[in-house]
């Protein structure tokens, strides 16, 4: 056995949380490796804590008080006898000082060496190193002189459009596109401030912005014996504000020749920094097929499951084996590429409110069952809470099939089965995204969503389609109500009583029931006659006959005016007032709540508020006005940081600033009044 090779680990610690911690635990369990979880105050009952063999508390809810405390994590590793630490992604995964501390403590860091991380820790240094190694890079400025005047001159020399990027960072933070020389300095100031807040350093680099680029990354793996190979590509061009929305493999944009060239360049980049373990070389690719190095993510990526699906490999197992000193399990020519895989991320966020992150208890979480074609990587279950302290991801949904059209069909069906209550989610947005022509035709570029976001927002449904959805909801709610009434009668004293039929029957007149369904924007009144799946619904503009209705496994089968339909209808099991029905007709989803027949609708006021309120919990990072200033409607007044993003808060009306109730650095709760205006 080589002196570099160890026996496989008996116990490892996972220095992370959520779905990645759960995902690492699953592989360890399959390999017979015991796991140690760490958790914060907010995560005491989290799924990764419940899944691990052992779990230890490491601090407060904020990341800097827990998951970013390398010293506390190392103490737990020593106390529990963990032989290695898997950092997951985010938090300390790309922290070279932590990797060094782990190795110094005699514990194996399941990732690249600290020296390799440091070479990639600065985007500027990484770009220079790759250029020297012969890897294509985008023209730009990476110098240490950061005076605004020099940066302005360099930007003008590079030409526009131009990208300002934080030299130390990732995750889409500290990045701005500038299209005109006059816009450069304001964008520079904003970018530096965001970089300073997110990464503690405000150095930036400048590079030419490639119009309508594709984002294509190559998964690489290296071992301690000098071997480096690639596992082909993932395309991540569907992005919003540099955050990936959909990832897939293989890319439809690459020719075999371009795939081979990019793979070779990625391996070359890995050799240039003596890379070990899992890493991702990210490239930007122009419409002309020219590709340029962006960065190396020195960790496992969020989107690694798509590579696992098309190669048939377990990348976490590879990480463990390489960290234990083994050689790479396969040679380059043995790497398969079979079928097509797509991943989307289910988030607690509101796309119609600027993708505002959400938090709260998941009162309902229904996801498709996992099988050979569908995979769910999640870190929460129904009843868990999405907290304000961490990324609001609920789960990753990954599908596979023999080719891309069939994989897209799988994904459409899987998303239709998702039902999330509690915080708002992006499920409906994802359904619109994967039906958009730019995704279906594989022509989407990294700027498509930001250029034309309205095309991915909901459009009013036709009246006929909306009416069909209402009738399906009403039918399902009556079927549920009748089933519950029969069940109650069956355990009562007179199960044959006509009162147990639940068809609205009363002495002296034909039975009917009044249903008032609220779809969130309008209330619809229906008069229902009939029972047991045969109904007549009357409404203001007409009537619909329903026959043969059956509801089973959230699928409704019925004939509406003689036309057979099959729709997905998820009724919540309650009957009577405030029962809920989610209807999915194959392309679009609706939610209907049955409200008391004579309850007045809430009156809404269009009057502009005189207060700027916090849309969610967060920290104030900038105040751009002072008491006595005159401000205009829509003017940016404050900037707050919440859930890993900056939010610009604007004046709801024109007026005079009467009060400023916060200071920079303050942490505020949702709905707190921050600024008061006198109109």
**Same-domain pairing of 72 and 145:** no
* Domain ranges, residue 633: 611-678
Q: Quick one: average pLDDT of 347-356?
A: 91
According to the model, what pLDDT value does residue 616 have?
A: 76
Once rounded to an integer, what is the mean pLDDT over residues 450-463? 92
Q: Which residues, including other chains, have CB under 8 Å from residue 447's CB and lie 6 or more apart?
A: 211, 212, 213
> Does 400 have pLDDT greater than 90?
yes
Angle at 450 between CA 445 and CA 454, to 5 degrees: 115
Which of 54 and 606 is assigned the larger pLDDT?
54
Whether 126 contacts 135, CB under 8 Å: no
Of 412, 434, 456, the residue at which a domain comes to its end is 456
Q: How far is CA 177 from CA 172, 308, 417, 500, 509, in A?
A: 12, 33, 38, 66, 70
Give the separation between CA 633 and CA 654, rounded to whole angstroms: 4
Same domain, 432 and 290: yes
User: What DSSP designation does 209 have?
Assistant: P
* CATH code for position 644: 2.40.50.100
For residue 117, tell me if it sits in a domain. Answer: no
Tokens of 175: 């990045």
Question: Is the pLDDT assigned to residue 604 strictly greater than 90?
Answer: no
Mean pLDDT of 54-69: 96
Q: DSSP alpha helices (H): ranges in 227-375?
A: 256-272, 304-311, 315-323
SS3 96: helix
User: 114-121 vs 96-104: helix axis angle to the nearest 10?
Assistant: 170
432 and 538 in one domain? no
Mean pLDDT, the chain, as a whole number? Answer: 91
What is residue 574's predicted lDDT score, i.e. its pLDDT? Answer: 65
pLDDT at 228: 98
Whether residues 94 and 166 share a domain: the answer is: no
**pLDDT above 80: residue 288:** yes
What is the set of active-site residues? 299
Number of residues that this document lists for the chain: 679
CATH of the domain at 40: 3.40.50.20
In a domain, 478, yes or no: yes
Q: Are residues 376 and 329 in the same domain?
A: yes
As separate numbers, helices (DSSP H) first and strands (DSSP E) second, the chain gives 16, 39
Closest CA to 580 of 503, 432, 481, 512: 481
pLDDT class of 576 with cuts at 50, 70, 90:
low
Instruction: Extract the tokens encoding 387.
Output: 């907290």
pLDDT in tens, 458-509: 998 899 999 999 999 999 999 998 888 888 777 766 665 655 555 555 544 4
Express as a percent the part of the chain with pLDDT over 70.
Answer: 93
CATH classification at residue 193: 3.30.1490.20
Residue tagged 């496994």 (tokens): 553
In this structure, of 403-407, 443-447, 473-477, 516-520, the range with the lowest mean pLDDT score is 516-520
Judge whether 516 and 524 are in contact, CB under 8 Å: yes
**Are 443 and 562 found together in one domain?**
no
d(CA 110, CA 322): 8
Helix H, strand E, coil C: the string for 35-82 is EEEEEEHHHCCCHHHHHCCEEEEEECCCHHHCCCCHHHHHHHHHHHCC
Domain CATH code at residue 544: 3.30.700.30
Q: d(Cα 428, Cα 585) in Å, to the nearest integer?
A: 13
Is the preceding peptide bond at 372 cis, omega within 30 degrees of 0? no
Q: Indicate whether 325 and 410 sit together in one domain.
A: yes
* Inter-residue long-range contacts of 222-225, CB under 8 Å, 24+ positions, other chains counted: 222/112, 222/270, 222/274, 222/275, 222/276, 222/277, 222/279, 222/322, 222/328, 223/276, 223/322, 223/326, 223/327, 223/328, 224/4, 224/276, 224/322, 224/325, 225/2, 225/4, 225/327
Q: Look at 255-259, 441-445, 495-499 and tell me which has the smallest mean pLDDT.
A: 495-499
Instruction: Give the highest mean pLDDT range of 309-318, 503-512, 652-661.
Output: 309-318
The domain that holds 376 is classified in CATH as 3.30.470.20
Q: Is the dihedral of CA 172, 432, 337, 329 positive or negative?
A: positive
- Count the domains in the chain: 5
Selection from 113-122, 161-170, 230-239 with the highest mean pLDDT: 230-239
- Whether 563 and 532 map to the same domain: the answer is yes
- Which residues share a beta bridge with 77? none
Structural domain includes residue 2: no
The conformation of residue 663, written as its DSSP 8-state character, comes to: -
Is 605 among the domain residues?
Answer: no
Report pLDDT digits (tens) over 401-425: 999 999 999 999 999 999 999 899 9
Q: How many CB atoms lie within 10 A of CB 547?
A: 15
pLDDT value at position 438?
97
pLDDT of residue 497: 61
Is residue 242 classed exposed, middle or buried when 0-12, 13-18 and 19+ CB atoms within 10 A define those classes? Answer: middle
Question: Are 160 and 40 within one domain?
Answer: no
* Cβ(624)–Cβ(642) below 8 Å: no
Q: Please give the Cα distance from 131 to 437 (Å, whole number).
A: 37
pLDDT at 428 over 70: yes
Domain boundary among 456, 472, 493: 456
Does 607 score more than 50 pLDDT? no
The torsion angles phi and psi of 502, rounded to 5 degrees, stand at 60, 40
Token pair listed for 329 = 């399990």
Supply the pLDDT for residue 126: 86
Does residue 170 share a domain with residue 40?
Answer: no
Distance CA(19)–CA(34), nearest Å, equals 18
Pairing of strands 175-178, 563-571: unpaired
How does 161-181 read in b/e, with b if 16+ C-beta sit within 10 Å? ebbbbbbbbbbebbbbebeee
The residue among 598, 674, 582 whose CA lies nearest residue 636 is: 674
CA 72 to chain centre: 29
Please give the full DSSP string across 519-585, using - where no structure is assigned. Answer: -SS-EEEEEEEEETTEEEEEETTEEEEEEEEEEETTEEEEEETTEEEEEEEEE-S--STT-EEEEE-
- Give pLDDT, residue 495: 61
Q: Residue 428: enclosing H or E segment and its boundaries?
A: helix 427-435
Q: Do 244 and 328 belong to one domain? A: yes
> What pTM was estimated for this model as a whole?
0.82
In a domain, 226, yes or no: no
Q: Give a yes or no: residue 186 inside a domain.
A: yes
Q: For residues 654 and 652, what is the distance between their CA atoms, to the nearest angstrom?
A: 7
H-only helix segments in 223-289: 256-272
User: Does 561 lie in the same domain as 427?
Assistant: no
- pLDDT > 90 in the chain, percent: 74
Confidence (pLDDT) at 644: 62
Give the confidence band of 150 by pLDDT, cuts at 50, 70, 90: very high
- Residue 220: inside a domain: no
Write down which residue in 534, 561, 595 finishes a domain.
595
> In terms of pLDDT, which residue wins out, 504 or 535?
535
Assigned domain for 606 exists: no
First to last CA, the chain: 78
Torsional sign, CA 317, 322, 325, 327: positive
User: Does the pLDDT of residue 125 top 90, yes or no?
Assistant: no
State residue 42 phi and psi, 5-degree precision: -75, -15
């Amino acid at each position: 056995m080589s002196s570099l090779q160890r026996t496989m680990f008996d116990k490892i610690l996972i220095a992370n949380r959520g779905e990645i911690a759960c995902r690492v635990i699953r592989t360890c369990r399959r390999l017979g490796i015991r796991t140690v979880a760490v958790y914060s105050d907010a995560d005491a009952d989290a799924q990764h804590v419940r899944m691990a063999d052992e779990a230890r508390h490491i601090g407060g809810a904020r990341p800097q008080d827990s998951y970013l405390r390398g010293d506390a994590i190392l103490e737990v590793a020593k106390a529990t006898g963990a032989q290695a630490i898997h950092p997951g992604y985010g938090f300390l995964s790309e922290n070279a000082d932590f990797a060094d501390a782990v190795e110094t403590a005699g514990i194996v860091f399941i990732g690249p060496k600290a020296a390799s991380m440091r070479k990639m820790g600065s985007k500027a240094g990484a770009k220079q190193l790759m250029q020297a190694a012969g890897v294509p890079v985008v023209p730009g400025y990476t110098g240490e002189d950061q005076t605004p005047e020099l940066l302005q001159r360099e930007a003008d020399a590079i030409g526009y459009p131009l990208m300002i990027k934080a030299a130390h960072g990732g995750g889409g933070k500290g990045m701005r596109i500038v299209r005109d020389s006059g816009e450069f300095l304001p964008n520079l100031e904003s970018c530096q401030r965001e970089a300073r807040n997110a990464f503690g350093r405000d150095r930036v680099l400048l590079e030419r912005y490639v119009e309508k680029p594709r984002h294509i990354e190559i998964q690489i793996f290296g071992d301690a014996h000098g071997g480096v190979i690639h596992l082909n590509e993932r395309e991540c061009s569907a992005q919003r504000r540099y955050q990936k929305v959909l990832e897939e493999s293989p890319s439809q944009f690459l020719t075999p020749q371009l795939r081979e060239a990019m793979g070779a360049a990625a391996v070359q980049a890995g050799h240039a920094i003596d890379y070990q373990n899992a890493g991702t070389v990210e490239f930007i690719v122009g419409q002309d097929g020219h590709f340029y190095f962006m960065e190396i993510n020195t960790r496992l990526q969020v989107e690694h499951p798509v590579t696992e699906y098309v190669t048939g490999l377990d990348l976490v197992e590879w990480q463990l084996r390489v960290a234990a000193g083994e050689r790479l399990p396969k040679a380059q020519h043995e790497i398969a590429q079979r079928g097509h895989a797509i991943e989307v991320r289910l988030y607690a966020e509101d796309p119609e409110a600027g993708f505002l992150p959400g938090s709260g208890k998941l009162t309902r979480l229904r996801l498709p069952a996992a099988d050979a074609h569908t995979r769910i990587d999640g870190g929460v279950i129904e009843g868990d809470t999405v907290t304000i302290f961490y990324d609001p991801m609920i789960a990753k949904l990954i599908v596979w099939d023999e080719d891309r059209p069939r994989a897209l069909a799988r994904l459409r069906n899987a998303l239709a089965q998702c039902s999330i209550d509690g915080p708002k989610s992006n499920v409906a947005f994802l359904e619109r995204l994967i039906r958009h022509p730019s995704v279906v035709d594989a022509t989407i570029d990294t700027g498509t969503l930001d250029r034309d976001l309205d095309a991915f927002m909901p459009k009013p449904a036709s009246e006929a389609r909306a009416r069909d959805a209402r009738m399906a909801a009403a039918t399902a709610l009556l079927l549920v109500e009748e089933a519950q009434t029969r069940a109650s009668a069956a355990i009562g004293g007179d199960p044959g009583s006509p009162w147990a039929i639940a068809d609205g029957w009363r002495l002296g007149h034909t039975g009917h029931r009044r249903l008032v369904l609220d779809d969130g924007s309008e209330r619809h009144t229906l008069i229902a006659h009939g029972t047991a799946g045969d109904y007549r619904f009357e409404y203001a503009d007409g009537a619909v006959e329903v026959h043969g209705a059956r509801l089973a496994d959230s699928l409704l089968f019925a004939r509406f005016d003689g036309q057979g339909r099959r729709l997905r209808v998820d009724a919540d099991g309650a009957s009577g007032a405030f029962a809920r029905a989610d209807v999915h007709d194959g392309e679009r989803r609706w939610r209907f709540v049955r409200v008391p027949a004579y309850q007045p609708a809430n009156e809404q006021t269009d009057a502009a508020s005189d207060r700027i309120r916090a849309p969610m919990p967060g920290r104030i990072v900038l105040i751009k006005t002072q008491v006595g200033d005159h401000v205009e409607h829509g003017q940016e007044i404050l900037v707050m940081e919440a859930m890993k993003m900056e939010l610009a808060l604007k004046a709801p009306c024109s007026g005079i600033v009467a009060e400023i109730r916060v200071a920079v650095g303050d942490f505020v709760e949702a709905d707190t009044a921050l600024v008061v205006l006198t109109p």
